[in-house]
């Protein structure tokens, strides 16, 4: 049944139904509504969890790491500078193979201070060993939380995950969402069964010390688990009511000459723009990348094999190199004769309209790309 | 933002897809803010702000001199303006129908506070026909409880009947 609610509230509701036993988070715009709602649910005894108030994001994720190592299902949420402050702990969580799920309400990073949306925050943690899923709308945001817990806690995976949804654009938008019932979530996501946990009766240590004889093997194992998580996602997606059986979602790609590639809420606007371009006779489609880590390179190459031109929309910039998604899409398509262009777009919350999507397609078809789209040259 | 949320919620209750969101970042009581609503028979995918509104609601008439509140409107559009002076001076685009409603007075009389969201919602429902009165009442009774719900429903109905009578 569809209910009308704010994106952040929908996240809090699905997290409650996933029954985390420990929550530690520090409020930061635009994530705040999620953790406010969860704190209230715990205070009202609607959610039987330990809500740990902390003095910083570093402490929040450290508390989560300890709680997860002790055998609890754990949840946190953050964004932007808050995620930046968690940088060190993020690597430790993945290195200790703790299946923590954390919502990222995507936001730009300072300086200059900007509270608005882009995807620089989670993208900047791409090498940390966390799975990264991106939602197009609030329904996907809800669904991906359930899938994330299922994939992360799989004993063949044991990795943490970011569920990313665009800050403000999704987090502060009210729209219809179908929330599963508690019984449905319980049936999909059984109680947490830790692979191993800190236990005084049976002591063990985690994350201790690896000499050069062992460190590479630890990293290799994480990378292998990342790769295995693709199959786990497909399996978890198939068990789901809606279709998440693919790592990437094609939209009107079948006979397309030009394909846009994007992640997150911009895909919705792109789909509407594509419908208009199709009505005008242009053969354009979209590839929505739901998963940035692991990067589904073969799946992307396969989905795009019929198109001649590819335009990647990047709401991030690896300064001095290019957009992170564009760089990896180019690598995925290397050896093909397809023209692949990258467009840095919508940084720091700049609004994207259908006509902007159409303009990017025009640029790509004229062979103009690898640029910042929509720069205000008069202020440079 | 509350008015946008309530209008979108009432429209959703009336059986269509709807979406409501603020112009992000400057939400402070007293500061000029914008919020946007879309209705559709199909799922709404578009995420951009609204640049060419079919309808606008102006909650604070003192903005009219400073901001082009009618920007992007075209013939056939409908504007609902909260004002006690129906002859306000504004450049209204040709073909846009303006309903001047003294929502502040209605809100003060019905609610005791100059919060005009629910009153303007009633005016919007009557002027545009996008929301049925019963969906509006249902939305208000979901959002408010007890006497607050009754008061807000009365405020909305007064504006609904006022604008409805002028149609």
Predicted confidence (pLDDT) per residue in A71-93, tens digit: 999 999 999 999 999 999 999 99
CB distance A268–B46 less than 8 Å?
yes
Structural domains of chain B, count? 1
Which pLDDT score is estimated for A226?
98
Query: If you classify domain A2-238 with CATH, what class do you get?
Result: alpha beta
Residue of A29, A107, A176, A349 to mutate, interface with B, max B Cβ within 10 Å:
A176
Cα separations in angstroms, A316 against A60, A133, A173, A263, A377:
25, 16, 22, 11, 19
Considering only CB atoms, A174 lies closest to which of B20, B48, B51, namely B20
Pairing of strands A248-251, A22-25: unpaired
The CATH number of the domain where B16 resides is what?
3.40.920.10
Tokens 């604070």 correspond to B60
Neighbours of A215 (CB within 10 A): 12
Which range marks the domain in which residue B7 is found?
2-166
B48 interaction partners in chain A (CB closer than 8 Å):
269, 351-354
Which pLDDT score is estimated for B165?
81
Show Cβ contacts of residue A272 under 8 Å, excluding neighbours closer than 6 positions. Answer: A354, B45, B46
CB A326 within 8 A of CB A339: no
CB B133 within 8 A of CB B93: no
φ, ψ for residue A70, nearest 5 deg: -80, 0
Cα–Cα dist B9/A243, whole Å: 27
Region A95-122 average pLDDT = 97
Region A221-236 average pLDDT = 97
Neighbours of A85 (CB within 10 A): 18
Answer yes or no: is pLDDT of A351 > 70: yes
CATH 3.40.50.920 domain range(s) in chain A: 248-379
* Residue positions counted in chain A: 380
* A98 or B66, which is more confident: A98
CB A98 within 8 A of CB A61: no
Per-residue pLDDT of chain B (167 residues; tens, 9 = 90+): 889 999 999 999 999 999 999 986 655 667 788 999 999 999 999 999 999 999 999 999 888 878 889 999 999 999 999 999 877 777 889 999 999 999 999 999 999 999 999 999 999 999 999 999 999 999 999 999 999 999 999 999 999 999 988 76
Which pLDDT score is estimated for A288?
98
CB distance A175–B24 less than 8 Å?
no
Answer yes or no: is pLDDT of A55 > 80: yes
- For chain B, the distance separating the N- and C-terminal CA atoms, rounded to the nearest angstrom, is 27
B22 interaction partners in chain A (CB closer than 8 Å):
168, 172
Least confident of A20-24, A43-47, B87-91: B87-91
CB A296 within 8 A of CB A349: no
Over the Cα atoms of chain B, what is R_g? 15
Give me the helices (H) in A130-284, please.
Answer: 138-153, 182-188, 215-238, 266-279
CB distance A175–B45 less than 8 Å?
no
What the block records as the tokens of A58 is: 């570093």
The domain defined by A248-379 folds into Rossmann fold (3.40.50)
Cα separations in angstroms, A367 against A21, A330, A363, A376:
53, 15, 6, 21
CATH 3.40.50.970 domain range(s) in chain A: 2-238
Neighbours of A221 (CB within 10 A): 12
Which pLDDT score is estimated for B32?
80
Closest CA to A251 of A266, A267, A237: A267
Region A239-250 average pLDDT = 87
């Amino acid at each position: 049944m569809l209910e009308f609610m704010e994106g952040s509230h929908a996240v809090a509701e699905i997290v409650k139904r996933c029954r985390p036993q420990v929550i530690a988070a520090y409020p930061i715009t635009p994530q705040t509504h999620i953790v406010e709602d969860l704190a209230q649910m715990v205070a009202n005894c609607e959610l039987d969890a330990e809500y740990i108030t902390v003095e910083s994001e570093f402490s929040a994720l450290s508390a989560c790491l300890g709680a997860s190592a002790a055998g609890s299902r754990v949840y946190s949420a953050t964004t932007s500078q808050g995620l930046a402050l968690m940088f060190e702990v993020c690597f430790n969580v993945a290195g200790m193979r703790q299946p923590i799920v954390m919502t990222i309400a995507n936001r730009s990073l300072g300086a200059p201070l900007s509270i608005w949306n882009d995807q620089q925050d989670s993208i900047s943690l791409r090498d940390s060993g966390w799975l990264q899923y991106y939602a197009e709308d609030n329904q996907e945001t809800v669904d991906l939380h359930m899938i994330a817990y299922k994939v992360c806690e799989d004993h063949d995976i044991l990795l943490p995950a970011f569920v990313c949804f665009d800050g403000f654009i999704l987090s502060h938008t009210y729209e219809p969402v179908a929330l599963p019932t508690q019984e449905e979530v319980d049936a999909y996501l059984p109680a947490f069964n830790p692979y191993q946990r800190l236990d005084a009766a049976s002591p063990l240590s985690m994350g201790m010390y690896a000499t050069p004889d062992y460190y590479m093997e630890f990293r290799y194992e994480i990378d292998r688990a990342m790769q295995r998580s693709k199959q786990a996602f497909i399996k978890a997606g198939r068990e789901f009511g809606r279709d998440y059986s693919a790592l990437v979602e094609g939209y009107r790609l079948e006979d397309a000459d030009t394909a846009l590639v994007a992640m997150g809420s911009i895909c919705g606007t792109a789909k509407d723009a594509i419908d208009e371009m199709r009505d005008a006779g242009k053969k354009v489609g979209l590839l929505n990348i739901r998963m940035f880590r692991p990067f589904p390179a073969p799946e992307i190459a396969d989905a795009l094999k019929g198109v001649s031109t590819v335009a990647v929309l990047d709401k991030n910039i690896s300064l001095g190199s290019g957009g992170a998604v564009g760089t990896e899409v180019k690598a995925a398509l290397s050896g093909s004769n397809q023209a692949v262009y990258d467009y840095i777009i919508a940084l720091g919350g700049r609004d994207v309209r259908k006509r902007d999507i159409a303009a990017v397609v025009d640029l790509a078809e004229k062979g103009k790309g690898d640029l910042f789209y929509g720069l205000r040259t008069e202020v440079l | 933002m509350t008015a946008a949320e309530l209008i979108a919620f009432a429209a959703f209750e009336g059986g269509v897809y709807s979406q409501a969101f603020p112009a992000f970042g400057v939400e402070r009581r007293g500061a000029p803010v914008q919020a946007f609503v879309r209705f559709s028979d199909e799922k709404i995918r578009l995420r951009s702000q609204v640049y060419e509104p079919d309808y606008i609601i102006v909650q604070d008439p003192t903005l009219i001199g400073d901001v082009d509140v009618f920007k992007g409107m075209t013939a056939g559009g409908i504007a609902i303006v909260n004002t006690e002076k129906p002859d306000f001076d504004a450049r209204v685009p040709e073909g846009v129908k303006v309903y001047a409603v003294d929502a502040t007075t209605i809100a003060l009389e019905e609610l005791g506070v100059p919060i005009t969201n629910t009153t303007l919602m009633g005016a919007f429902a009557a002027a545009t026909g996008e929301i049925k009165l019963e969906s509006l009442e249902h939305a208000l009774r979901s959002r408010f409880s007890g006497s607050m719900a009754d008061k807000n429903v009365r405020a909305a109905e007064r504006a609904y009947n006022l604008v409805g009578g002028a149609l």
